[in-house]
Structure 1
Amino acid sequence: MKAPARFADLVAGTSIAGLLLPEAVAYSGLAGLPPQAGVIALLVGLFVYALLGSSRFAIVSATSSSATVLLAATNSMGASDPATRAALSVGVMLLAGLFFVAAALAQLGAVSSLIAKPVLRGFALGLALTIVVKQLPKVLVVHPGHGDFFPLVAELAAGWRQWNLAGAAMAAMALVLMRVLARWRAVPAALLVIVAGILLDRAGWCQAWGVSPVGPIVIGLGEPALPTLDRAHWLRLGELAFAVALILYAESYGSIRTFALRHGDNVSINRDLLALGVANVGAGLLQGMPVGAGYSATSANESSGAQSRAAGAIAGLVVLLAVLTLLPWIAHIPEPLLAAIVIHAVSHSLSPTVLQPYFKWRRDRLISIVAVVAVLLLGVLDGLLAAIGVSLLLLLRGFARTTVSWLGRLGQSHDYVDTARHPEAVVPPATLIARPEVPLFFGNAEAVFASIRNRIDATPGLQRFVLSLEESPDLDATTIEALCDFAAFVRARRAELVLARVKDRVRDLLAQVGSPDLPAAVYANWSVDDAVH
């Protein structure tokens, strides 16, 4: 590494350390864990990704989304005392890490995401709103009895007389300061806010205002150990860990890919999956919390001038030095300021304009709104699972369509186009040309061929039927059986069946099937024009 690059990484790593340490402490409270959990996760994530990751900008640490989902997961299992919550959290992290490692070994990085972008953005907006509302009790120094979004909002509004205006003023000033200083990424705005808060607490002002600090932080790195949980707990944790891993992967992949495309970098998503897996297993064994490549920290690293993964390692060293020397001071951070840091961290997801393109394009508007409402009504975990379910249903709905285009020749060219869109296209005499507009698979093959049979039955004098398979790169067993049955149907109608645009993989498969109704001559033609002639 050249000297200018080393210096740039040194500056970037030092700068983002001032952001990452306060965020780590804040996210611990968001997950319902002691402050040291976020600090341990931060150190593990930074060092592991610096060794194993592929992106020069990605910063792997605790994130607001993972902290919130982890809290919802442990709450769903009735974790009331800190020891039980810690044990369940470790179990979730270990299993999520193992999911990542298994995905890396299976080379599943090519599956960029199972969650559609509109669903993911709707979920992110709902999650950001939930996080902000759940930080308000710390800002207002109140202790509400409800935790769900709408009941909590109603209770906070009804109890306005109990609001601590000093805490609210501290948080508001901190948000304004971080907003203004955000123009200069190299300035550690969160660190300046924390220093000011520590000075206020040490001077006795916070106590006079009724504002509590975060309290003592003890970083204890004992021997790595598995939590003592029964089989039923592990099975349930497996379901929750999959949800945590999926949201971490979607968030991390989005951050890594965004900055790789911006700078023309090559990244290996399978390598990053392995890094995320090792980091989460390590953080779990050391009693930390889930880690991922969050957008805000990664953006801050890029804006600070990072040139390689060394910037993350340097940030880890700076954080470690601060932990070894400044823990007594960190204990004096006022809780309203930690809440302000969390709110500022998720502020980039709060704007409804992220959903604006879907309304402009008139595509997926409903599902993006459903994702937002699901999080607000059902809670973070159930809302996440509902959002994933919606995304998978969209995927299945798209593949299960039975749309078939009927083609004709465009003028004197060799092009065959949809006659419904191009009425001037001419269909050759005694011929039908069909093109399924979706890949054929077990969920739609029978329905597609049924619709084609109906058109054939309604066409007297048919002599040749051309089926274009250009949208089907492969065929499963159900589709092969349906195609063989369809070939027999066409033969029974005394018409000739010709397949066009058949992929090599499908050609090899049909040769292996060896159906008498599908000899090699049936799929010998490459283009629709050749098949017609």
Structure 2
Amino acid sequence: MDRFKQYFPILSWGRAYNRTALSNDLIAAVIVTIMLIPQSLAYALLAGLPPEAGIYASIVPIMLYAVFGTSRALAVGPVAVVSLLTASAIGQVVEQGTAGYAAAALTLAFLSGTFLVIMGLFRLGFLANFLSHPVISGFITASGILIAASQFKHVLGVSAEGHSLLELGASLISHLHETNLITLAIGVFGIGFLFWVRKGMKPALRALGLNARLSDILTKAGPVLAVAATTGLAWGLNFEDKGVDLVGAVPQALPPLTLPDWSPEIIRALFIPAVLISIIGFVESVSVSKTLAAKKRQRIDPDQELIGLGAANLGAAFTGGYPVTGGFARSVVNFDAGAETPAAGAFTAIGLAIAAVSLTPLVYFLPKATLAATIIVAVLSLVDFSILKSTWRYSKSDFLAVAVTIILTLGLGVEVGVASGVILSLLLHITKTSKPHIAEVGLVPGTHHFRNILRHEVETSPSLLTLRVDESLYFANANFLESLVLDRLARDGDDIRDIVLMFSAVNDLDYSAMETLEALDARLKGMGVRLHLSEVKGPVMDKMRSSHFLEALSGKIYLSQFDAWDALTTAQAVD
């Protein structure tokens, strides 16, 4: 039964569900639903899909996540970065606005969902750790700029294309003379109003005497006010006849049953983008859910999160949606509104379903400039150039990775940017571990502790060299250790008769590293130097016992570094 609960977390929190949780979840669902209606329409626009696709992608996927997900507050649905990646991936395969484009979006969601579920079943959630936080921050910052730039065509009321900042900028400039002034006025008003909503609306409402709870709810509903106001103006002043681009007719229906495009050509073309979208979406989602869970001393299971997000994407693939993940803004709103269980997401889905069958006719006159303003204000909060300053002060290699990711994303597009981010993260890991920190240590007087001779006043012996290896050894860094030891002997090792490798920080040893240690011991033996090890951990010792290393070792294995020091310096004194 416990195994069954592992894959269906709803069986755990559902059994303890009570009236208080129901009340809190319903309140949170109302607030998030109000927020999601304009946001879902806007993100579908960003993905190059009909506006209803955003609502469809926010109904069944949320319900499936409520069954399979482990986060109590994560709100799943379309998000800005994934929407941009969707548009970029499909736009290179199928022409936007065609039936094939929507079908390709379903295929992308299906591939993404399948990949996530497979990773979850094989418990591969740890692979996301290979994406470094600075690289992800750089990618999201650049993506935020690209997303905002891509929406200025709707603010200006002109046509513009391009996958990079330079292409978008050049296209916008070339069409600048076609600007629709009414559309521009709507866009500028929307951006200004929504920025004020974020910064000034709540204090203004509090100043009018409203309590904190009501002020917070009205502030969250700010985008809906912008939508209502501009829709009313567009209808009353007949903006449609004045060249203002409107959302137009939206089907008044629940999500339809749909099938992805199974053609081999589409699957081949979208497979790699689907993998990249899955990884980026998972990293963003897990980061948000871990942060929110920690605030309530809860925990999430990253492997089960893969299954939950995979199920959500599969649901989107068969109900007219496109790839989804956990969104930062809506999850924080869901958490702050008091959501206690994933049932809040299910109630949100019900609210969106009601909106899909009853409110969609009201958005016919909604200007696309308003939705563009919603996206611009939302994504600019993702832009954080402070990561450049932080990484410059902390690590030049991290700074270089962030800077390259930002430049490539802006200059060559999001697909190149995210691929470069993955590659850079792996290169950073390999680079850092290929040259592990190895310190020459000595005995701190009056203690049994050993510290770096360059940082502390310690005792050393001219005939004994002790090196502390501060990294697990594997094929990429074992030769570095060998070269360091031999270089040290060649430089000033005439008096050295014993070398001790302190393995207190070595947690693993692969076969290549074992062979390198055997070769090093053989070379040292030929030079009249014995090789010893100290503080070897159990799992590492087990691997050594399975090889011939211990039998051929010229020296000994010591339980502690002090034991090695005591035995070898005493023996040298006797000699």
Answer whether TM exceeds 0.5 for this pair: yes
Task: Tell me if the contact between 1:511 and 1:520 (Cα under 8 Å) persists in the aligned partners.
Answer: no
TM-score, structure 1 length as denominator?
0.93
Q: Does 1:11 align with 2:27?
A: yes
The answer for the alignment partner of 1:127 in structure 2 is 143
Q: CA deviation at 1:445?
A: 0.7
The answer for the alignment partner of 1:186 in structure 2 is 217
Q: Which among 329, 339, 343 is matched to residue 362 of structure 2?
A: 329
Q: CA deviation at 1:421?
A: 2.7
- 1:483 and 1:307 map into 2 onto residues whose CA distance is 54
Q: CA deviation at 1:224?
A: 4.4
TM alignment of 1:157-172, pairs within 5 A: 157=173, 159-172=175-188
SS of 1:286's equivalent in the other structure is coil
| Paired AA for residue 310 in structure 1 | A
The answer for the alignment partner of 1:390 in structure 2 is 424
Q: Which among 95, 106, 112 is matched to residue 96 of structure 1?
A: 112
The answer for the alignment partner of 2:326 in structure 1 is 293
| Paired AA for residue 304 in structure 2 | R
The answer for the alignment partner of 1:381 in structure 2 is 415
Q: Does 1:466 align with 2:500?
A: yes
Q: CA deviation at 1:158?
A: 5.4
Q: CA deviation at 1:36?
A: 2.3
Q: Does 1:259 align with 2:292?
A: yes
Q: Which among 82, 92, 96 is matched to residue 66 of structure 1?
A: 82
Structure 1 range deviating more: 211-220 or 306-315: 211-220
| Paired AA for residue 172 in structure 1 | V
The answer for the alignment partner of 1:25 in structure 2 is 41
Task: Tell me if the contact between 1:33 and 1:82 (Cα under 8 Å) persists in the aligned partners.
Answer: no
Q: Which among 156, 161, 184 is matched to residue 172 of structure 2?
A: 156
| Paired AA for residue 268 in structure 1 | D
Q: Does 1:55 align with 2:71?
A: yes
Taking structure 1 as reference, are residues 16 and 133 closer, same or farther at Cα in structure 2, changes over 3 Å only? same
TM-score, structure 2 length as denominator?
0.87
Q: Which among 441, 447, 459 is matched to residue 480 of structure 2?
A: 447
Task: Tell me if the contact between 1:442 and 1:476 (Cα under 8 Å) persists in the aligned partners.
Answer: yes
Q: Structure 2: 5+ residue runs without aligned partners?
A: 1-16, 203-214, 567-575
Deviations 1:358-393 (A, max 9, x none): 244355222222221111101111111112211111
Q: Does 1:39 align with 2:73?
A: no
| Paired AA for residue 413 in structure 1 | T
| Paired AA for residue 217 in structure 2 | A
Q: CA deviation at 1:300?
A: 1.3
Task: Tell me if the contact between 1:405 and 1:435 (Cα under 8 Å) persists in the aligned partners.
Answer: yes
Q: Which runs of 4+ in 1 moved over 6 A?
A: none
The answer for the alignment partner of 1:274 in structure 2 is 307
Taking structure 1 as reference, are residues 91 and 207 closer, same or farther at Cα in structure 2, changes over 3 Å only? closer
The answer for the alignment partner of 1:350 in structure 2 is 383
- 1:76 and 1:26 map into 2 onto residues whose CA distance is 21
The answer for the alignment partner of 2:205 in structure 1 is none
Q: Which among 428, 431, 435 is matched to residue 464 of structure 2?
A: 431
The answer for the alignment partner of 1:413 in structure 2 is 447
Q: CA deviation at 1:141?
A: 0.3
Q: Does 1:116 align with 2:147?
A: no
Deviations 1:98-147 (A, max 9, x none): 12111111122344532211111111111011001100000110113555
Taking structure 1 as reference, are residues 60 and 532 closer, same or farther at Cα in structure 2, changes over 3 Å only? same
SS of 1:113's equivalent in the other structure is helix
The answer for the alignment partner of 2:156 in structure 1 is 140
Q: CA deviation at 1:323?
A: 0.8
Task: Tell me if the contact between 1:467 and 1:499 (Cα under 8 Å) persists in the aligned partners.
Answer: yes
Deviations 1:503-527 (A, max 9, x none): 111111111113354569833x232
- 2:429 and 2:36 map into 1 onto residues whose CA distance is 37
Q: CA deviation at 1:457?
A: 4.0
Q: Please provide the CA RMSD for this pair.
A: 2.2
Counting matched residue pairs gives: 530
- 1:226 and 1:260 map into 2 onto residues whose CA distance is 34
Taking structure 1 as reference, are residues 196 and 437 closer, same or farther at Cα in structure 2, changes over 3 Å only? same
Q: Which among 264, 270, 277 is matched to residue 237 of structure 1?
A: 270
- 2:71 and 2:306 map into 1 onto residues whose CA distance is 12
- 1:265 and 1:145 map into 2 onto residues whose CA distance is 45
The answer for the alignment partner of 2:352 in structure 1 is 319
Aligned-residue sequence identity (percent) comes to 25
Q: CA deviation at 1:272?
A: 1.2
- 2:383 and 2:411 map into 1 onto residues whose CA distance is 17
The answer for the alignment partner of 1:511 in structure 2 is 545
SS of 2:532's equivalent in the other structure is strand
Task: Tell me if the contact between 1:55 and 1:267 (Cα under 8 Å) persists in the aligned partners.
Answer: yes
The answer for the alignment partner of 1:495 in structure 2 is 529
